Amino acid sequence: MTRLASLILALVLAVPARAQQEAKPAATPAPEPMRIVLTRSAEPGCEPNCPEWLAAQGAITNDTLDELRRALAALQGRKLPMLVYSTGGTVEVAIAMGELLRQHGIEIAVARTAFTQREPVAQGTVDERSPLCVSACTLFIAGGTRRIIPPQSRIGVHQQTVVETETTTVRDYQIVRRREGDRIVERRELVNESKQTRTVKQEKATGEIDAKMARYLNAMGLDRSFLEMTVSTPADTMRYLKPDEMLSTTIATQLGSAALILSGLRAGQAPGQPSGLNAAPVLPATLIAPATPIGSVELGPHRGGALRLALAVGEGRYQQTASLQMRLLFGNAPVTTRLRTVTLTLPSSPPIALRNEDGADPDGPMSADILRDTLCGLTDRSAVSLRIEPREEDSRAEIWAKSGTASELLRLPQLRAAACR
C-alpha cells in the first residue's frame, strides 16, 4: 500500500508566467467609462418642480452606446435634456451615439453634474466652473438638436487616431512539492491571474474614418469649418475653440449657461426650430431698449471698501422674457465680470446663471433672459439667493453669496414697475 504524505516542502516560491518574455511598462489606468444617469436637481427651494436631466460623464467606450440606449429606454417616452462632461473616446461609438440622440430629439448642454446622492434616486447640481468636452465627445454632442455651451467651456478638437493596444495576461504560480511514497512530485498551482493593457501604436485615422466623420457632421447640420478645424489639428495636440469659434463652427447652437437647457428658455434660437415660447421672434440687439436701473445690493466689505451689485432690468429677446442685469462694483468702480457667473436661485425655478458674454466689454453687466411670469410671480418675501463665482481669494467667502427676500436682493417693487405689465 502506497502511503501518500501531503507534505508541502515549498510554498513561498512564486513563478510568474507571462504572455511576453520582455519587460513591459506599467499599464496606464483606463479612464472611467461614461455613465448616463437620470438625475434630479438638488438645488434648495426647487421642490416640488425640480428639473431632471440625464448626466453623461466619463470616457466613451465600446459599451457606452448600450448605456445610452438603456438610459433613453428608461425614460419611457419622456424627453429630458442631457448634460455632458467627457474627455472623448471611441470615434465610431461617439458617432452612433450622436445619431441616436438626434433620433430621440435630445437637447444637450456641456456641464458637469455634481452628485449629492446616487441612491435611491440620483440628485445633483449643475457645475459650470470648468465644462469639458474634447476629442470624440464633440462628435457625440453634435447629435443634440440644441447644443448650449457655456463660453468658458473647454471644447477641444484634434485629428482622430487609431489606437492599437496589447493585452498581457499575467499568471502567478506557486510550486508545490509533495511526497508520494519514495518520490517527490512537483507541480504548479495557479495563485492569481490578471490582465494588463497598454497602447502599442497610435496613429492618425484613415481617410475612411475622416469620410465617415464628414458624412455624419454634414447630416447633423454642422458647418464644414468644424471638420476642417478637427482634421487640421495634429493628433498629439488639442485645439480649444474660442466662444466665437463655437458659434461659427455651429458645434454650439447657443452660448450660455447650461441651466438654460433645464428651463426651456431659448434665448438664441436658430430660425425654423420649435420655440416653446409661442414662436416669439428674437429681437436684434439694436432694437432692445437700454435697461432700467432698479437699485443695488450691498454685498459686504472688501479691500477697505464695499462690494455691491448694481441691478437693472430691460427687454428680453422674446416677448415673454425680461433681461435681468447685474454689474459688480467696488465702491463706484466696476469690477471685471468677464468669466464670472452670478447664480440666481428663485422659488420653483431651475438655477439661473447670469454672465457677461460681451468680449468687448470685460466690465459689462452679467445678464440672463428670465420669463416675465417667473419674475412677476415673486412676492416681497419670496426666498432668493445669489452666488458669485469665482470669488476673490483674498476676501471673505460670505460676501460672495447672499440669501434673503426678493424685496431685499432683487429690489422687487422697482423690478415690478420696470418689467411687469
Q: DSSP for 191-225?
A: EEEEEEEEEEEEEEPPHHHHHHHHHHHHHTT--HH
| Measured distance CA(90)–CA(161) in Å, rounded | 9
Topology of domain 35-160+205-263, CATH: 2-enoyl-CoA Hydratase; Chain A, domain 1 (3.90.226)
Strand 341-345 with 383-389, pairing: antiparallel
Q: In which element (H, E) is residue 352 found?
A: strand 352-355
| Measured distance CA(109)–CA(146) in Å, rounded | 8
Query: What is the structure's pLDDT at 16?
Result: 36
pLDDT digits (tens, 9 = 90+) for 125-148: 998 888 999 999 999 999 999 999
Cβ neighbors of 198 (< 8 A, separation 6 or more) are: 24, 25, 27, 28, 165, 166, 168
| Measured distance CA(277)–CA(67) in Å, rounded | 33
pTM, two decimal places: 0.56
The stretches in the chain having pLDDT less than 70 are 1-30, 162-167, 197-206, 264-289, 317-319, 358-359, 393-395
Contact 142, 251 (CB under 8 A): yes
Q: Minimal CA–CA distance to 346: which of 373, 309, 310? A: 373
Residue ranges, comma separated, of all CATH 3.90.226.10 domains in the chain are 35-160+205-263
> End-to-end CA distance of the chain, in Å?
107
What DSSP state is assigned to residue 163? Answer: E
| Measured distance CA(344)–CA(329) in Å, rounded | 18
Q: Minimal CA–CA distance to 248: which of 224, 213, 272, 276? A: 224
